[in-house]
Amino acid sequence: MNEAQVATTIAPLIGSLGAKYMLDPETMAHGAAAGYPNGFAYYVAGRGGVLGDVDSDVVYSAFMFFERTLIDKLWKAGVVVEGARAAGERYLQSCDEWGRKHLANVEQLDQFITVAEKLVAQVDSSGLTLFAGLRAEPLPSDSPARAYRLVTLLRELRGCVHIAACVTHGLTGLDATLLSSGEGMAKMHGWAPPHTDCSHLRNTRDAVEKSTNDAMARLIKMHLTEAEMTQLAEQTVRIAAAVS
């Protein structure tokens, strides 16, 4: 497989698999047991906690696809519990536990870990803030948790690249959400209806997706051999299928 094929193959799988722990009831329960007022405050403080003790606008800039005042409300409600860094560390515990539970019976995880870790470790983090924050946290040592953490790192990597592409092409977070996921998701992300019709921006969204995949393909080609690229795609497909 070439780098473009690898990038397009893993994109939807990494996106879906890397988000599974975020809305898992056990993750929500983990946050509730620690005193977080709701699962969404735990999500925002936990995922954004790797950025450190920052203003909510910094978190909004890293998330993009959420309405600004909602991020402000949830960030403040979350970090008051135990602070930003502690929230980030706890959220990673939830992430790792999800991996241990759901990837424990997946064989030969080392084949994914080897190439995914090589890619994640070598990417230049310039402009990839949320990815850089997550990468700075130590990886767990056991294979199921380590493999799943790497899945989330690849997800954040592509997410950061995607945000840059949206900004470059002039696509707002609301428009991008409406075009990719519809009004229900836009409402969940804090944008109250009525929503302005943005169907005329579909070509722009297509250009954003192409730019994102092209950028990911460049990173993959820069840091992996042809054999490693194919291995990354094949092992991502295998893990996603096993978890499904």
Average pLDDT over every residue of 150-161: 98
Place of tokens 């493999």: 147
Residue 23 has pLDDT above 90, yes or no: no
At 55-77, the pLDDT tens digits run 999 999 999 999 999 999 999 99
Residues 6+ apart with CB under 8 A from 117: 139, 146, 150
The tally of domains found in the chain comes to 1
Token duo for residue 149: 């953490």
Average pLDDT over every residue of 200-214: 98
Residue 173 has pLDDT above 90, yes or no: yes
Give residue 82's pLDDT: 98
Give residue 181's pLDDT: 95
Please choose, from the candidates 57, 181, 136, the residue with its C-alpha nearest in 3D space to the C-alpha of residue 44. 57
Residue numbers of the domain that contains 127: 3-243
Place of tokens 């490693």: 228
First to last CA, the chain: 24
> What CA–CA distance (Å, rounded) separates 205 from 199?
10
Average per-residue pLDDT in the chain?
A: 97
Region of residue 138 (left: phi > 0; alpha: psi -120 to 50; beta: else): beta
Q: Is residue 244 very low, low, confident or very high in pLDDT (cuts 50, 70, 90)?
A: confident
Token duo for residue 64: 């993009």
The pTM is what?
Answer: 0.97
